[in-house]
Structures are given as structure tokens and as C-alpha cells.
Amino acid sequence: MDSGSLAGISNKKSLMAAAINAVLVASLLGSSYGCPFPAIYNLGDSNSDTGSVSAIFGLPPPPYGESFFGRPFGRYSDGRLIIDFIADELKLPFLSAYLDAIDSNFRHGANFAQSGSTIQPAGGKLVDAGFNPLSIDVQLLQFERLKNHSNEIMKKNPDFTDRLPRPEEFSRAIYMLDCGQNDLHYGLITSTEEQVKASIPNIISQFAVTIEKLYLEVARIFWIHNTGPIGCLPVFVLSAPPKPGNADQTGCIKSYNEVAQEFNKQLRDRISQLRSQLLGARLVYVDIYSAKYSLISDAKKYGFVGPFINCCGHFGDYHVECGETAVVNETEIFGASCSDPSKHISWDGVHYTEAANYWVANRILDGSFSDPPVPLAKACR
């Protein structure tokens, strides 16, 4: 073989090596980038409702919304929710509530969450107890309606893209689910803890069906929150203080939190099973419970007052709902806001303040509380 041939082979090897290196570098660089999620679709309850219930029944009264929006803005908090901080992280606008027909924009997703919603279909007893009839199975139907109707419109008029999702982007969106607290809440006020635990497998199965149906529709990337420490909500702790031996080291109702922990264990196990069934899907389980409990148990360390001192309204020796009035000892009392909501974890005894939501969001966005431990922005990987 002459020197020219040898030089040619050498050049080809060099070019091939350079190409391989380029691919490796590109791969490494690409792994540091986030996922270009074009949209968020969210199903859940009041922890992530950005206006669905208020679109039907009217806005919550002042002082809801006072810390960020300056007025009631469809959220059951003084300001933004975790879902709002998630949208910020993904460089997307706040999610429009699906049921809000005024000025809604679904170009980058939609929020189907309903305050008071449950995973289990809301029958007569749930509705009579004050829970929302638009449970998560109904929210799924609303998503299907949005997707199918948007696709029909886009086929007829491809230029109509300003306020509707693009058909090809549904499969690249991130699908979030945050529901289950109300199922446990309902059970705890109508039955025993053991009876609630016995109902959990059926509730989890219904949750899994929702995930499977979303997958069959188009969803591939899921970000799924477990339920928070329900035994630490002031509405329970102050209205019915834990009996001797039933308070944990923080002062929460131990047996109530054990119910939430059992729910979360079964949810995590079912998500693990779904990973092997739903080919090509990415399911991230987010341990909201641990993030919230760490804040509650070390409230003063993080600059908050006691975790059972809700900012708005009053529980305990008398009861006044946030933003409402009640007559106490022949005196009309208004459920006003505290002077500094940013120092409180609980806003109204059930929902968290914007400050607490921000704290929790910052803990979960980097994947520290996720299984697998992947940051939100890289959940597609």
C-alpha cells in the first residue's frame, strides 16, 4: 500500500474520530439543557386550581390574592400557587383555567384542577359533604374535549394558533396531577382512619386509570404530586386537637398523617408499576409530603411563625372563615388577614400561603424530592 493510500486512511480515521467526538460533545451539552415543554396540562384540586371553581361560583372574597395579585384571582391563597412557580420555571405563562371563558389562553396548556375535587367520582354523599362534583374523571373528559376540539379547529383553520394548543405539541407537553387530599379529608370526617386506609387501594386504582387514559390520549411526560401532611392542617389541629398520644413531635395529628403516608406509599408503588406498562412514558413521582412536612417541622428555622397559626380567619375557641364574617359572643367578627402573610405557612387553615408555596416549589423543582431524582426542567429525560 503506497503512502498516499495510508494518508487517506489516516485522514478518514481522523474525520471519523472528530465526528464521534462532536456527537459525544453535543450529547453532553444537550444533557445539560432543559426540556422544551411547549405546554402544561394540570389536573387536581385546590392546591393547583387557578380559577376553575371561581369561574363557576364566583371569586373567593378579599383578602384572597392580596399578596401578589392585589385582589382575588381565582386561587385559594394570598398569592401564587406551586403550579404558578412551576410555570415560571418552564418559562411558560400562568395556566388559564379551562372553565374560565373570559380571556383564557390555552396556547401553552390548560388547568383543569377544581377546588374540592376528588380522585373518586363524586357521588351524592361527597357532594352533600361539600366536595366538588367535577372529580378527576370529569377533568379528564374536559382535557379530551379541549384536545379534540382544538384539533378540529386547527384542521379547518391552521392559522388559528394564538389561543389554542397546536396538535403536534400535546405529546411534548408535561402532564401534572395533584389530587387525593380531598378523598382523605372526606374519609376522615365521615369514618375511621382504618376505614379510610381500606379505601385507598380503590382510590389509587382510579388515579392509575386517569394516568393510563391520558397516556392513551397522547401524554408521555408525567409529573405527579403525592398528597401532603393532612394531619398538620390547622383546620384539623386547631378545631379538634390531637388526643394524648396522637400528636407527633411537631404537634400534627399522627393518625391522620399515617393515612396520608399510606396513600403515598400505594401511589408510589402503582407509579412504579405503570412505568413498566406505559412504554415510552416518563413518570416522575414528587414527594410533596416530605417537602411540606420539612417546612412545617422546622418553621421557625426557615423564618416562619408556628405552623398552626393560620394567617387568615380563625380556628380554635371560635371559628371564622377567611374573608367571611361570623357572630361570636354577639359580636360580628371578620375573618381578616394577618399583618404579614409571608411569615405564615398556612393561609386559611387549609391552603398554604404564597410564601410557603414558593418555599416548597424551590425544594421540588430541582428533583430533590422526586423519584427518579430528576429536575422538573429535565423531566423528559
Residue 54 falls within a domain, yes or no?
yes
Active site residues: 46, 348, 351
Cβ neighbours of residue 103 closer than 8 Å, sequence gap 6 or more: 96
Residue 227 falls within a domain, yes or no?
yes
pLDDT at 381: 81
Residue 309 falls within a domain, yes or no?
no
Bridge partner residues of 221 (DSSP): 174, 282
Grid cell in block for residue 39 = 405546554
Instruction: Say if residue 93 is preceded by a cis peptide, omega within 30 of 0.
Output: no
192: Cα within 13 Å, side-chain hemisphere: 3
Grid cell in block for residue 189 = 370526617
pLDDT at 123: 84
Domain that holds residue 85: 34-298+353-378
pLDDT at 33: 65
pLDDT at 31: 43
At 15, which amino acid appears?
L
355 vs 357: CA distance, rounded Å: 5
pLDDT tens-digit readout, 125-159: 899 988 999 999 999 999 999 999 999 998 888 77
> ∠ at Cα 138 (197, 113), nearest 5°?
80
List the chain residues with pLDDT less than 50. 2-31
Write the CATH number for 173: 3.40.50
Give yes or no for a contact between 176 and 81, defined as CB atoms under 8 angstroms apart.
Answer: no
Residue 203 falls within a domain, yes or no?
yes
267 vs 69: CA distance, rounded Å: 34
Grid cell in block for residue 26 = 453535543
**Residue whose cell numbers read 372529580:** 135
**Can you give the chain as a three-state secondary structure string?**
CCHHHHHHHHHHHHHHHHHHHHHHHHHHHHHCCCCCCCCEEEEECCCCCCCHHHHHHCCCCCCCCCCCCCCCCCCCCCCCCHHHHHHHHCCCCCCCECCCCCCCCCCCEEECCCCCCCCCCCCHHHHHCCCCCCCHHHHHHHHHHHHHHHHHHHHHCCCCCCCCCCHHHHHHCEEEEECCHHHHHHHHHHCCHHHHHHHHHHHHHHHHHHHHHHHHHCCCEEEEECCCCHHHCHHHHCCCCCCCCCECCCCCEHHHHHHHHHHHHHHHHHHHHHHHHCCCCEEEEECHHHHHHHHHHCCHHHCCCCCCCCCCCECCCCCECCCCEEEECCEEEECCCCCCHHHCCECCCCCECHHHHHHHHHHHCCCCCEECCCCHHHCCC
Residue 24 falls within a domain, yes or no?
no
Grid cell in block for residue 207 = 388515579
Residue 149 falls within a domain, yes or no?
yes
Residue 161 falls within a domain, yes or no?
yes
When divided into structural domains, the chain yields a total of: 1
pLDDT at 24: 33
